[in-house]
Structure 1
């Protein structure tokens, strides 16, 4: 256990929530310092329909706020049940709101000093600030924040289905069938499309960061590495006559790159901007059977970084080579993500991290002979894993180009939330997290 974990456990214990605070939080005898926390809940939640509509956790938060002298939510209002997982800068705990049985949260407690030391590129937004900006069915709901001199605690939605890394290991052959991959990938595409529209590069897509909610739909989590520059906004366009016919060959539907402006006339909070905000695109000759309809395209093309961030097996070539990167790295990681869900392995993994990075930059993409995959799935992965970010699918037209790929044929993008998930987790009890999963004993189950 890292030293800061002992300090964190000691600080949490010093709050004296109640005698039932989890025994899984080990107290350190080396620290006797008191920690003062300040707490607040999000006043803006009423403007977030996806986060507040019919959500019992919001009802619990409102009740606590109404009864609190300062109108906030404090640590004394929570019962910490168990630690769910830990990382480089903090831990995630399962927390229950007192007086609201079954109202569970994922409490992510982060070390501010460690967080600051990792933020070498001077990112203008913290994870808290990014989550406060976001309101989408496939992204975390931030219910409240608690702060101390050393710690920052975020109360977010608890996902009882765990993450896709663990769920994949439970599948036959430790991989998903193509229909399940299509379902999870389509929801991730929509989540990334929204994040990009808000001018954010996610940079940490992997199965461990895609969680399964109680209804079986996904939640993209962990925005520690996300990049949002205050001086950069997403560029939006209304593009017409670009829909490819469903009968087109997989690689035979090039979409002309739009003439992006250096800045946007659309504010990140503008979900349905006026048509006058968009630049027009010159018309292209229609193909037979082509039903051209205006489409919304947004990519944070101005956001650039030189930082080396991410998970080794998922790093894009431009990150490894240090050439600088933008939003196209998210489409590379989508390709790795789909490959891993289909085959149970990542395509460029080497004997160690050094070999993995060398493979990412220099080795050609190869598909395993078994299991056999349909051509559209392999073609989509191949177009996402183009090493030149300028030629990578999604680099100019974003999610719009990806949605039109034949792999996603039949997906109703407007009604994804109505699609039946391939897996719906059973009703959750705290006994479910008493130990690691027997089906993959070396992989801890993380439910945040």
Structure 2
């Protein structure tokens, strides 16, 4: 049992490795290609969204939006060079109104890869332009200085991108990060990337890494990792993309992600292979042990010939031939006169002489004390069988010359021969041969 389990486990390991390698080459290329396609689409859409953000341009605080300029995606907002007509505060409100027109034209972006919205913040007046009206408490939260520093969303320098840390949207509660750009000294325009709205981010961990002089990192890095795989694993490859000036996205695809399908398919197939091998190995082993036990139970311990149990397992002939029954003469006299050891030696001499005279495909069976049955398979005639019997007798005579006790008590045997055919019952054949043997003994 344990040996079969050990053998099945070894075969499971071997088949698992072989199948994994095979399925890796079958599935990894398509899996990687599909994932790279999704990644590139996401990066392209995000880059397009930032391009929309960049298209809202303020050339000067003293300029007004030309009423004739259409506001569609990718449309620049051109300002006329008119002198300011109002006070600075009023002018700021006018500028926000101009931005609102641009913002309304952009709205909420939903693509196959990203979902998000634009927002304009005036840090001087602490007002927000959004595609819907915001409650005062939400506006207060957005400009909260502590939250601003924690999330890295404070106003940025003019025409310079910044990326916030991961946070929850104050309005919707969605998980997001914000990419924003300073339009002038106090106005930022931003794009909020909502992760809850996109299934691509369901199994990803997003980390925002700001620039650092210590690591000589100049850009903001948006790091995307697969949440179900530990960071310590060696990654199969990384996808890099610069989506805007100063912003880089890195998506790390782990080797185990590429191996996911090959590993699962290989494990299932290897498991069934192991069960299959265990079953047949165990059954074959049990059958082999049973056959060995049967063979041992049929062997006579004294003569090493078959014993009478042979006929318990094989009750009928499987081929044609001649069956001989031989019965030792004066074996009992030797046993009584010289002792059991001499009697056993006489029986062994009779058996060894018979074994040497017959072929490998013939069978010698000890049916009693000094009685034997010989199955001469495919023997064509009684005459040939008689020659074999005479050969046995000659061998006994030759061997007896070298044993003192057998020179005085000569060993011989009576025999009876009868033919048999395939399907004949051994019991009937032996009974017939016994009859001829007793006839021979009388003579």
Q: TM-score, normalised by structure 1?
A: 0.19
More strand by share: 2
Of the two, which has the highest radius of gyration?
A: 2
Q: TM-score, normalised by structure 2?
A: 0.19
